[in-house]
């Protein structure tokens, strides 16, 4: 399918971003470099994105009046996270271009919708079932089997809103989750690695797939990304095919992150979709000819996007909590670091405060370097 061209929006038009975190900040920096004006909506005064934008509306994300105010001040509207109210965006679309649309949010904002969409378009996913009460939970366990993971159907991130179901001993604790909100039970897959790709399309429907990367998590939070991922050629081919199918079927505009499990050298399954630039794509700022953030801005503004090339292998390391303080102290010893501080007002445990990217041909040396320079053994 080749979509009809979307409207071209040229600088110095105004881009409105719902969400003012680090993803919005890096979107804004790319947009400003291209000559656009940027406005941000976020409840935190001087939010990371607000610090580098032309203006910030300080309001909650569900403040309909504030979202409409941003829409009326912008020429194109985008978002940096999934949990944006679809109805408010539909109303905002009367005043501003929203190339990503609201159907993308309907699908990716609900895990059951997301898994059902992927299954329907032939993308491999783990077995899953909807859970709304005790009867559906018991039926789901029979259908999916154990071990499994019970997840809230909406909300939740970095491991929040999840519960492992390994045996009947876990059933009572699982009930505490599914009696509060709709859930999805997913079979736990044995996998050799976690991976991801970023995908987008240009105004004429041409799909652009960024390199497949390898992700290492700690405590359910992304710790390190290795680009390119150390996988077989077959796995890289499968990921590229999956990216093209998803982009086409979603009629995608803007960047979308696709998280995968690499089962073995010939099989992958898709875990989750993120309708925005993704933490594991930060390496693209320095390592690729076009970053995921510039690609996002180009896509929503109807501009051409070059085929992506990885100029040099890279390792991206998240700075969580006090990692940021350690990294600052090590800057005098780290001339090769591309250091990013998001400018968040408060350091909290496990909070994403910044990241570091290093480039070079020896991945093992890059991993060793980032470990040593952030105080790890």
Confidence label for 85 from pLDDT (cuts 50, 70 and 90)? confident
Helices in the chain by DSSP H: which ranges?
22-33, 64-73, 86-92, 103-108, 111-120, 134-144, 171-178, 233-250, 284-287, 292-300, 323-330, 363-373
Which residues make Cβ contacts (< 8 Å) with residue 189, sequence separation at least 6? 126, 261, 263, 269
* 292 and 216 fall within a common domain: yes
> d(Cα 363, Cα 358) in Å, to the nearest integer?
10
Structure confidence at residue 368 (pLDDT): 87
The structural domain count of the chain equals 3
> d(Cα 288, Cα 335) in Å, to the nearest integer?
20
Confidence label for 76 from pLDDT (cuts 50, 70 and 90)? very high
Instruction: Tell which of 56, 82, 98 closes a domain.
Output: 98
Residues 288-312 have pLDDT tens digits of 999 999 999 999 999 999 999 999 9
Q: What is the DSSP letter of 197?
A: E
Residue 86 lies in a domain: yes
* 158 and 205 fall within a common domain: no
Confidence label for 86 from pLDDT (cuts 50, 70 and 90)? confident
Q: What is the mean pLDDT of residues 105-134?
A: 96
Query: Is residue 239 scored above 60 in pLDDT?
Result: yes
> d(Cα 197, Cα 213) in Å, to the nearest integer?
6
* 343 and 202 fall within a common domain: yes
- Concatenate the DSSP letters of all residues of 31-67 into one string: HHHTT-EEEEEESSTT-TTGGGSSEEEE--TT-HHHH
Structure confidence at residue 244 (pLDDT): 98
Structure confidence at residue 131 (pLDDT): 97
Residues 195-215 have pLDDT tens digits of 999 999 999 999 999 999 999
> d(Cα 276, Cα 279) in Å, to the nearest integer?
10
Structural domain span for residue 56: 14-98
* 164 and 202 fall within a common domain: no
Q: What is the distance of C-alpha 214 from the center of its chain? A: 14
Structure confidence at residue 2 (pLDDT): 46
Query: Is residue 217 scored above 60 in pLDDT?
Result: yes
Q: What is the mean pLDDT of residues 321-333?
A: 93
Structure confidence at residue 1 (pLDDT): 40
Residues 245-278 have pLDDT tens digits of 999 999 999 999 999 999 999 999 999 999 999 9
Structure confidence at residue 156 (pLDDT): 65
- Crossing angle of the two packed helices 134-144 and 171-178, in degrees rounded to 10: 120
> d(Cα 299, Cα 293) in Å, to the nearest integer?
10
Confidence label for 157 from pLDDT (cuts 50, 70 and 90)? low
* 214 and 134 fall within a common domain: no
Confidence label for 377 from pLDDT (cuts 50, 70 and 90)? very low
């Amino acid at each position: 399918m080749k979509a009809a061209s979307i409207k071209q929006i040229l600088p110095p038009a105004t881009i409105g971003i719902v969400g003012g975190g680090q993803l919005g900040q890096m979107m804004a920096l790319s947009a400003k470099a291209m000559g656009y004006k940027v406005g941000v909506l976020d409840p935190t005064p001087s939010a990371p994105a607000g610090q580098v934008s032309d203006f910030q509306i300080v309001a909650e994300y569900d403040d309909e009046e504030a979202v409409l105010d941003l829409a009326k001040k912008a020429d194109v509207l985008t978002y940096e996270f999934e949990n944006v109210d679809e109805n408010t965006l539909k109303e905002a679309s009367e005043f501003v271009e929203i190339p990503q649309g609201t159907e993308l949010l309907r699908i990716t904002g609900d895990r059951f919708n997301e898994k059902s969409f992927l299954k329907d378009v032939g993308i491999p996913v783990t077995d899953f079932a909807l859970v709304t009460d005790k009867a559906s939970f018991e039926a789901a366990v029979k259908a999916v089997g154990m071990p499994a993971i019970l997840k809230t159907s909406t909300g939740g991130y970095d491991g929040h809103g999840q519960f492992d179901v390994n045996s009947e001993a876990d059933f009572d604790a699982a009930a505490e989750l599914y009696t509060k909100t709709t859930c999805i039970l997913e079979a736990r897959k044995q996998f050799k690695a976690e991976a991801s790709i970023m995908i987008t399309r240009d105004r004429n429907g041409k799909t652009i797939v960024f390199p497949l990367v390898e992700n290492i998590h700690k405590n359910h939070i992304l710790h390190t990304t290795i680009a390119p991922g150390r996988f077989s050629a077959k796995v890289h081919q499968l990921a590229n095919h999956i990216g093209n199918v998803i982009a086409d079927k979603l009629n995608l505009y803007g960047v979308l992150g696709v998280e995968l499990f690499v089962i073995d050298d010939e099989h992958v399954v898709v875990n989750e979709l993120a309708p925005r630039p993704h933490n594991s794509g930060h390496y693209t700022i320095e390592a690729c000819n076009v970053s995921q953030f510039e690609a996002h801005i180009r896509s929503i503004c109807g501009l051409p996007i070059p085929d992506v090339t990885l100029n040099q292998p890279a390792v991206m390391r998240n700075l969580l909590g006090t990692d940021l303080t350690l990294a600052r102290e090590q800057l005098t010893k780290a001339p090769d670091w591309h250091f990013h501080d998001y400018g968040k007002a408060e350091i909290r445990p496990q909070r994403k405060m910044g990241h570091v990217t290093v480039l070079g041909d020896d991945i093992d040396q890059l991993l060793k370097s980032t470990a040593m320079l952030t105080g790890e053994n």
